Amino acid sequence: MLFRMRQIQKLATLAVFVWALPIAGHAATPAVSVGREHCLALHTDGSVLAWGSDREGQLGQGRQTYEARPGLVARLSGIRAIGTGANHAMAIRTDGSLWTWGSNSSGQLGDDSTAFRSQPVQARAISRVSTVCGGESFSAALDVDGAVWTWGETATLGTGAQEASRVPAKLPGITGIRALACGSGHVLALRQDGKVLAWGANDEGQLGDGSRAQRLTPVEVTGLSGVKAIVAGNSFSAALKHDGTVWEWGVSLPFDTPRGVPRVVPVQTVGLSDVVSIYGGEVSFGLVAIHTDGQSWSRWITGTAPIRQSSVGALAGASAGYGVTLLRRTDGSVLSYGFSGNGFGSLGDGTTTYRDVPGPVVDISNIVDVTAGTWHGLALDASGRVWAWGLDTSGQLGRGRILGQSVPAVVQGLPPVVQVSAGTAHNLAIDESGAVWAWGSNGYGQLGDGSYADRAAAVKLTALSEVIGVAAGSNFSLAVQRDGSVWYWGGTLPGVSTQQPALPTRAMGDAKAVSGVNGHVLVLKRDGTVWSWGYNPSGQLGNGSLEDATQPQPVAGLSGIQQVIASDGSSYALASDDRVFAWGSNWTGQLGDGTLERKLLPVVVTGLGDVLEIAAGNEHALARKRDGSVWGWGLAEARALGSLPAASAVAVPLSTPAQVQQLSAGGQNSALLTQDGLVYMAGGNSVGELGDGTFAKQPDFVLSVNANTDGLLDLAPSVSNTPLASAVPLFLVKTERRGDLSSLTLRTNVFGLLGASSAQRAAKASVGYNLYVVALVGNQMAFQWVSLDSKRNWRQLSFPVAEYLAGVSLTARTDSILINILDSVDVTALLGARIFVGYGLDALEMVATGRYREVMTIALPAAP
């Protein structure tokens, strides 16, 4: 039931086509699968390799996506107040400045970007901040003058604006406010006169104005006065009056099916009096009340009867998140209890064991404030330090975790695998026995192991067997069994589930293949027809309308289909006569029919024939023809189509290696697997998606390297390699980055020359090489070259170029030198800068031989 963790995402395009499982003991067929910001590769020995983003454990390296014990937020001190959103956090310094970190999909960090931050950054355009709160994808603050500031998603701004705001903006005409409360998608403001204003989402009546209509500007809550304190939660609101009574409005009985009748005006909470303070949380349905004696307290789910609790000592405050409620005692200690599990360590007791009774949060003391997000907690101590624990997939703990890997690594704990599928942030694999394994993000139950805890190591699904195909979608999963049964689990699909099932559930039968992404599903049946259901805002269901479908229905006019692909708003099908059909969203020409108009029914992709295979990313598509050529169309963003510089509404041939055996695409990336087992990648690389050892933009398809960084990634080592010469690097690198752009640490291992042809260029290398680090900073209008010298000082480049190291041996591919390039440096003002490393007898010889490589392009990563 983590439907409040949803975030609109640009989603991976994933499909599966199944004929029969390989016989146990035989070599697996090499394959690649591209997710949104990570990639999987299947080796002939049945092992799986992964590279790119590891934000939610999707690389299967066992790196925890959470912390079960509190730890200090990096680079933060002198704090006097804290706040949380669903997956972001905020802190106010004693000077009134506001610092934010975590999720930033709608600009809720206020730093004029949508880049997620794993360490604090200062919000822009606001100062003298008094209090702050956050919701699903927005934030709000009150300044010392009683003015309200908002930023993030549109509906919660209160300004009437039609677009999201990435920097704080003051609400016009609103003054005299003394308290704010943020719900999941709405805001409350308490005026000095004891009345309450509200704006934002109102689907459950949470604004209390007698309606269920969204309000883009503040309205007054009906019939409410004499208010002392306010709480905004997950589609509900509450207020404490000076007389000690509590009033609630909004969603009622949220966990019942069906829910209770929405309360569109405030109603008094029965059985509750002598209350001195109330607490809730932006994504929580829970409430806590402390009574006048300071010892007794009550807790309840909105719309239900409060339950008086046993004393846990004198209480000073509380905060309710979705997965954890925090109680702050007057002695400075903190207690926690859960509501729906502790898989992310959100109870802060050093375990992942669930309990629903208060117990101590460990390792912290002298706490003066607490606040809870969806699955993470924050605590402010008396010395102005901030402590954080729980889930860290969006950087909300402020630890500066390593979130990406630039070279492939073997996924641990898997038996021999015969098929893989990469989703937005989770993965599925089928082993030789037909069992399914899963790892990565699990906030919607998409791993199918019965939990909602992310898994950084693969787990086996016990509920499925004899599986011949899997498809990992955005936040859900699909599987086909040998008998043709289709199973789903994870995020909601219209007509199939109103909740997120954490275990596989049967959907239909007679299927040969499935593909699903972003809430819509395509099923290829054994008779060659295509069926679809799910969300349909762009016509991606192919039913001639924009209406969602709650039951599988045939896609009009299709028969004899061999392959189907569901992408982000578009759909594709390959017919037995080798034609490609497409329908749905088309604003970048991704349907390939020569127009930019969406299509509600299938149309033929122009100029294509003799097609063997198709693949599609968010807004681009690929086709492999019988002659071995690869064609592409749609958006060329991040060079997902290789050297093609601009979008194309018709299919055009791409510059690719010969003998391509398989295609895969997802997000802004494309992958080509050749018959000799080599992997070529193109597209975005901000978190290492290309697997080439860098975080640099590349102008064309590049070769991925192996896990040891001593050669190219080869999924079929028994076959001799004939790589495309232009794609072979002169030497290999392995670049590591930690933190975000506000505090970037960057280092690179530079390895020796890769091949014989390279060694011939280095005949004079016996005297040793000089190692150089240079950067191009600025833009086409004004740029300059700078270099990093041996004392690790950056200075304007001049000749002779200052070397980083002198006399190093790099003649063998096993030789390597580690270069520390940046150490917790704020590079947010250097977007577009390019960092290079190289070596030569001198700088001129290095340039003449081409012995240099770009290791990072400073760019904003895509939002998770």
Long-range residue pairs from 607-610, CB within 8 A, at least 24 positions apart, any chain: 607/650, 607/651, 608/579, 608/580, 608/651, 609/578, 609/579, 610/578
Q: How many CB atoms lie within 10 A of CB 119?
A: 26
pLDDT of residue 39: 82
pLDDT of residue 25: 45
Q: Is the pLDDT of residue 3 over 50?
A: no
pLDDT of residue 861: 59
pLDDT of residue 615: 96
% of the chain at pLDDT higher than 90: 63
pLDDT of residue 16: 37
Taken in order of first residue, the domains within the chain and their CATH numbers are 3-62+403-727 (2.130.10.30), 66-391 (2.130.10.30), 733-857 (no CATH)
pLDDT of residue 5: 31
Average pLDDT over residues 184-191: 97
pLDDT confidence tier of residue 779, bands split at 50, 70 and 90: low
Angle at 418 between CA 412 and CA 422, to 5 degrees: 65
Q: Residue 57: name the closest of 338, 459, 420 by CA.
A: 459
pLDDT digits (tens, 9 = 90+) for 535-566: 899 999 999 999 998 889 999 999 999 999 99
pLDDT of residue 55: 76
pLDDT of residue 400: 66
pLDDT digits (tens, 9 = 90+) for 9-18: 333 333 333 3
Q: Is the pLDDT of residue 480 over 80?
A: yes
Mean pLDDT, the chain, rounded, equals 88
pLDDT of residue 569: 93
pLDDT of residue 149: 98
pLDDT of residue 654: 94
pLDDT digits (tens, 9 = 90+) for 491-520: 866 555 555 678 998 989 999 999 998 889
pLDDT confidence tier of residue 314, bands split at 50, 70 and 90: very high
pLDDT confidence tier of residue 105, bands split at 50, 70 and 90: confident
Q: Which residues pair with 334 in a beta bridge?
A: 328
Query: Which conformational region is residue 112 in: left (phi greater than 0), alpha (psi within -120 to 50 degrees), or beta?
Result: left
Average pLDDT over residues 168-174: 95
Output the DSSP codes for 414-454: ---EEEEEE-SSEEEEEETTS-EEEEE--TTSTT-SS----
Q: Among 290-299, 330-339, 629-638, which is the least confidently predicted range?
A: 629-638
pLDDT of residue 401: 62
pLDDT of residue 500: 64
pLDDT confidence tier of residue 416, bands split at 50, 70 and 90: very high
pLDDT digits (tens, 9 = 90+) for 735-774: 998 877 777 889 999 998 775 333 334 444 455 889 999 9
Q: Is the peptide bond before 258 cis (omega within 30 degrees of 0)?
A: yes
Average pLDDT over residues 398-411: 78
pLDDT digits (tens, 9 = 90+) for 718-736: 999 999 999 999 999 999 9
Q: What are residue 77's phi and psi, to 5 degrees? A: -155, 170
Per-residue three-class SS string for 444-509: CCCCCCCCCCCEEEEEECCCCCCEEEEEECCCEEEEEECCCCEEEEECCCCCCCCCCCCCCEEEEC
CA distance 450 to 462: 10
pLDDT digits (tens, 9 = 90+) for 23-61: 344 567 888 888 878 788 888 898 888 888 887 778 887
pLDDT of residue 373: 86
Q: Which residues pair with 320 in a beta bridge?
A: 325
Average pLDDT over residues 246-257: 89
Average pLDDT over residues 790-807: 90
Average pLDDT over residues 786-803: 90
Radius of gyration of the chain (CA): 28
pLDDT of residue 323: 80
pLDDT confidence tier of residue 6, bands split at 50, 70 and 90: very low
Q: Among 91-95, 218-222, 517-521, which is the least confidently predicted range?
A: 517-521
pLDDT of residue 499: 57
Which residue, chain included where needed, has tokens 């049946």? 525
Q: Residue 323: name the closest of 337, 307, 311, 304 by CA.
A: 337
Q: What are residue 418's phi and psi, to 5 degrees? A: -115, -15
pLDDT of residue 496: 53
pLDDT confidence tier of residue 91, bands split at 50, 70 and 90: very high
